[in-house]
Chain A
Amino acid sequence: MGASTAYHLALRGQKNILLLEKDEFFGQEATGRCAGGVRYQFSTEINIRLSLQSLPMLERFKDELGQEINFRKCGYLFVLTSPKDVKIFQHSLELQHGLGVKTEWLSADEIHNRLPLMQFDDALAGSYNPEDGLVDPNSVVMGYVNGAQRMGVQCFNKVEVVGIQTEGGKIVAVDTNQGTIATRTIVNAAGPWAGMIGQMAGVEVPIIPYRRQIITTTPLAEIPQDFPFVLDFAQSLYFHREGEGILTGMSNNNEKAGFDQSVDEKFEMINMEAAIARLPCLEKAGLLSHWAGLYEVTPDAHPIYGKTPVDGFYLVAGFSGHGFMHGPISGKLMAEYILDGNFQSLDVSMLDLARFKEDRQMREYNVV
């Protein structure tokens, strides 16, 4: 999010931009640890519209930035096993169709035919969009960082923000572990840490970090090249082809908020058992790697864009698991907001920080 914002600001001709990253490399935290999924299938109009702008930017990424990002349109297939989910997804499908997103509705038989390796006897229906897919997160981050650097953005690693100085309700400087930088503008794109950064400026940002974890397997010859991104929605369990094996993850609904990014091996067993029950050939697979990362969750599972009560302190965070796919358009929107004073490409003004105090929240249902 930070790299995209810096790139788009520079693209608009803004000078004196600094991108500060506390880690040794860019994209090592939430972005680098995400599953890389990008999709149009959402339940709210604003999220669908964000995808309608962001995913084409990823399709044009190589032409624009010269960086291959391996966009693989494998399609997302949401498998629904509860009548309640079927009803909500049918409504979402109508919304998507109304916005020009050609998501397909699948019967249980069609799901069985498309996923012969999987056990979905309890499937009631599903939704599938062939334009959804996977993108390499690190390539996108480095594409934006390199693109920003080519336009003069100074990108620093191992520079941790430790404080924010304000005077009269305005930003005047940012304190880092490497020294203080005078500035009138700060963009808080710290993802799961956005709440902490907000506190430094005296701004309450309702973003909570939650651990999510992923497993990848050794090669499985049975998995076809066109295996889609499959989501067992009721269990928040997902699968996609990763290399010649499978990547699987599952959300722990009992996960407590926190910054712990170690793998919870007890929950990993639950993930593994659930995954084997759906995809039995996993039983013989080897565990190639596993890791955990952090979601940055807001109360309504939508991001926060724009200004804060402190003049010059902007926020673009809280994407609740969708930050990677909406990163391209979000960086562009933030550049517009900072330089023009409003969002030009898409009106996301309803996703402001004030909505939480003014009871204007909207709930995204398709959160995994």
Chain B
Amino acid sequence: MKIVVCVKQVPDSTAKVVVEQGRIIWGDAPLVINPWDEYAMEAALQQREALSGTVTAVTIGDESARETLRRALAMGADDAILISDPGLVNLDTQATAQVLAAVIRKIGAVDMAFFGRQAIDGDAGLVPAQTARLLGWPALTLASVIKVEGGSVHVERGIEEGRQIVTAKLPAVFSMTKDFGEPRYPSFMGIRKASRVEIPAWSLAGVGIAAPVSVITWPEIINPPSREITCEYITGSNPDEIAEALAAKILAEKVL
């Protein structure tokens, strides 16, 4: 089983993201692997453990994105590829999907391509389906359970109305939700291995495509309007009294 996991480097989820002079900034918060992609990594590693094979982590980014790939390697990926090129800037989701589809084709004979359900910076959640479309593969999005049998896969999807069971032929694209189960922590052994791995960088020429053209531009970026929040402390002489006062307040405010 040849498995690819597409991961993205994003600002830490605790970062205070603001817009200043039309630019999105997050201060000195560290860049980390997109948390949703850790679920994708976990799903991929479990498939490898069940079916044998290899897991390759892929990301698009500059040199700093190598750290995100090292996190994937430390979790257990067999290898990693950085897609880095001056032509890869300000990509929209369909341009990103063009690159990732081309990379997956170039890797060749891939059976399963995993994504997190969305990235916590853009929050579009479109890249998995767009990549699947370009590859001509089934898009099994919002997956929480995956079972491979022969050349087919059974997937349980979490949708608004409930659960949906779908079956498809491999190869396929999967986007994972946290219902799949908690991702594993990178092991000391994995971190040690990841620190020593040489991560190859592929340019657009190496992938064999021209720079994709984004069709969506962001003409203006603004901070959301600030909200006035007042905070009231519920006090009391003991926990029971505080809880009673809090419950009364919740009912009075019609929160419940």
Q: Do A and B come from one complex?
A: yes
A interface residues with partner B (beta carbon < 8 Å) = 217-218, 262, 265, 269, 272-273, 275-276, 282-288
CB within 8 A of B189: which of A262, A275, A284?
A: A284
B187 at interface, CB cutoff 8 A: yes
In Å, the complex CA distance between A255 and B82 comes to 31
Closest 8 CB pairs of A and B: A286-B185, A286-B187, A283-B189, A287-B186, A218-B185, A283-B188, A282-B188, A272-B188
B191 at interface, CB cutoff 8 A: yes
* A284/B30 in contact, CB under 8 A: no
**0/1 per residue, B169-200, Cβ < 8 Å to A?**
00000000000000011111101100100000
Please give 4 more A-B residue pairs, beta carbons under 8 A apart, in addition to A272-B191, A283-B189, A284-B187. Answer: A275-B188, A283-B188, A284-B188, A286-B186
**0/1 per residue, B58-75, Cβ < 8 Å to A?**
000000000100000010
* A287/B185 in contact, CB under 8 A: yes
B253 at interface, CB cutoff 8 A: no
Closest to B189 in A: A283
- 10 A-B pairs with CB atoms under 8 Å apart are A269-B191, A269-B195, A272-B188, A272-B191, A275-B188, A276-B192, A283-B188, A284-B188, A285-B188, A287-B188
* Residues in A whose Cβ lies below 8 Å from that of B28: 262
* Residues in A whose Cβ lies below 8 Å from that of B189: 283-284
* B192/A288 in contact, CB under 8 A: no
* Residues in A whose Cβ lies below 8 Å from that of B184: 286
* Residues in B whose Cβ lies below 8 Å from that of A284: 187-189
* Residues in B whose Cβ lies below 8 Å from that of A217: 188
Give B192 Cβ to nearest chain A Cβ, in Å. Answer: 7
In Å, the complex CA distance between A217 and B30 comes to 21
- A276-B188 contact given A262-B28, A262-B30, CB 8 Å threshold: yes
In Å, the complex CA distance between A188 and B165 comes to 63
Give B219 Cβ to nearest chain A Cβ, in Å. Answer: 34
* Residues in B whose Cβ lies below 8 Å from that of A262: 28, 30
* Residues in B whose Cβ lies below 8 Å from that of A265: 67
B interface residues with partner A (beta carbon < 8 Å) = 28, 30, 67, 74, 184-189, 191-192, 195
* A273/B192 in contact, CB under 8 A: yes
* Residues in B whose Cβ lies below 8 Å from that of A288: 185
* Residues in B whose Cβ lies below 8 Å from that of A282: 188
In Å, the complex CA distance between A141 and B247 comes to 28
Give B15 Cβ to nearest chain A Cβ, in Å. Answer: 12
* Residues in B whose Cβ lies below 8 Å from that of A273: 192
CB within 8 A of A287: which of B30, B67, B187?
A: B187
* Residues in A whose Cβ lies below 8 Å from that of B186: 286-287
In Å, the complex CA distance between A275 and B189 comes to 12
Closest to B184 in A: A286
In Å, the complex CA distance between A269 and B195 comes to 8
* Residues in B whose Cβ lies below 8 Å from that of A287: 74, 185-188, 191
Closest to B30 in A: A262
* B192/A269 in contact, CB under 8 A: yes
* Residues in A whose Cβ lies below 8 Å from that of B74: 287
* Residues in A whose Cβ lies below 8 Å from that of B192: 269, 272-273, 276
Closest to A285 in B: B188
In Å, the complex CA distance between A217 and B67 comes to 20
Give A116 Cβ to nearest chain B Cβ, in Å. Answer: 20
Give B70 Cβ to nearest chain A Cβ, in Å. Answer: 9
* Residues in A whose Cβ lies below 8 Å from that of B30: 262
In Å, the complex CA distance between A217 and B185 comes to 9
Give B194 Cβ to nearest chain A Cβ, in Å. Answer: 10
In Å, the complex CA distance between A269 and B187 comes to 12
In Å, the complex CA distance between A282 and B192 comes to 12
Closest to B29 in A: A262
In Å, the complex CA distance between A275 and B195 comes to 16
Closest to A288 in B: B185
Give A272 Cβ to nearest chain B Cβ, in Å. Answer: 5
In Å, the complex CA distance between A265 and B189 comes to 15
Closest to A272 in B: B188
In Å, the complex CA distance between A217 and B188 comes to 9
In Å, the complex CA distance between A283 and B188 comes to 5
Give A283 Cβ to nearest chain B Cβ, in Å. Answer: 5
In Å, the complex CA distance between A37 and B7 comes to 39
Closest to A261 in B: B28
In Å, the complex CA distance between A276 and B28 comes to 31
- Scoring B74, B184, B188, B191 by chain A CB atoms within 10 A of each residue's CB, the highest score goes to B188
In Å, the complex CA distance between A272 and B191 comes to 9
* Residues in B whose Cβ lies below 8 Å from that of A275: 188
